[in-house]
Amino acid sequence: MKVIDSHTEGEPTRVVVSGGPALGSGSLKERLAQLESHHDHFRQSVILEPRGSDVLVGALLCPPVDQRCVTGVIFFNNTGYLGMCGHGALGVAKTLQYLGMAPESEVLIETPVGVIKITFDYAEGATIENVPSYLFKADVCLNVKGLGEISGDVAWGGNWFFLTEHAPVALVLANCQQLTEAAIQIKKALMEAGVTGIDGAVIDHIEFFSGAESESADSRNFVLCPGGAYDRSPCGTGTSAKMACLAAKNQLQPGETWVQESIIGSRFYGSYQWGEKGQVIPSITGRAYISAESSLVFESDDPFRHGIFSV
């Protein structure tokens, strides 16, 4: 199985270029369902230890349905599947460029939640035009174990987020364990309170915000992903969700740049335009770097060929 590894502002992506399972010719949503139902061992073997880690996000390249697109892509992590992944899309963009599959300065890729546009800028990296994003529920109040009463917003940015400024400690690397534990309690409180996204969708990303450490950034965040690992990048879908909240509250204007700083100090540059249905169309600019080109080997007698499920 041929893979290309990269990182986007510190967050790793593993793109499976060849050797993945046959998923038929249905829509990307249907193929994701096929992958989940019949080939989940593929996800596990690519992402879990000993070949991967909890931080890693996988991306399986597959033929697109929309022929305008250079490829389709299905994102996955240590616990399941993602409709969209901002840092992962930038990692895919860098990989396509590295493989010579993106000869134009602008290409389209297809995801299970829609088509996204990628524009290459050799000085700044790449920009993705994300799927339409929106604030779903504002000022949701929760009673959270260890935190007490807090409030935040529920928003869609390609994944479902609960966004709050009520972090229990400063957003610095030394506090990642405390932030992780607090985010887990918020996720539990959301479920207990019956707070969901559209059609009962689980809110599986928790995002803390604070002021930025750098004077040239607007905000710093800590994002806990569904698998329990925190995002090293500023999180592309999380930045999209944040801009949707700011736009809905008239705190960020169309075309205005929002500089989002991650827990490790890396940055995404975001802006948006209004879409036809009153949703925002976010653009996220960031840098990805190729870190490895390799082949994954699966020996038949390897007891951990499909990954280690608990460490």
Report the alpha-carbon distance of residue 9 to residue 262 in Å, rounded. 9
Length of the chain: 311
Task: Give me the DSSP letters along 33-102.
Answer: HHHHHH-HHHHHHHHSTTT--TT-EEEEEE--SSTTSSEEEEEE-SSSEES--HHHHHHHHHHHHHTT--
Report the alpha-carbon distance of residue 8 to residue 233 in Å, rounded. 7
Q: Encoding tokens for residue 50?
A: 């000993």
Kindly state the greatest CA–CA separation across the chain: 59
Residue 174 buriedness (CB in 10 A; 0-12 / 13-18 / 19+): exposed
Considering only CA atoms, which of 8, 10, 74, 5 is closest in space to residue 264? 10
Secondary structure of residue 189 in the 3-state scheme? helix
Q: Encoding tokens for residue 114?
A: 């829609």
Task: Give me the DSSP letters along 7-20.
Answer: EETTEEEEEEEE-P
Strand partners, 265: none
- φ, ψ of residue 220 in degrees (nearest 5): -120, 145
- What residues are labeled active site? 85, 235
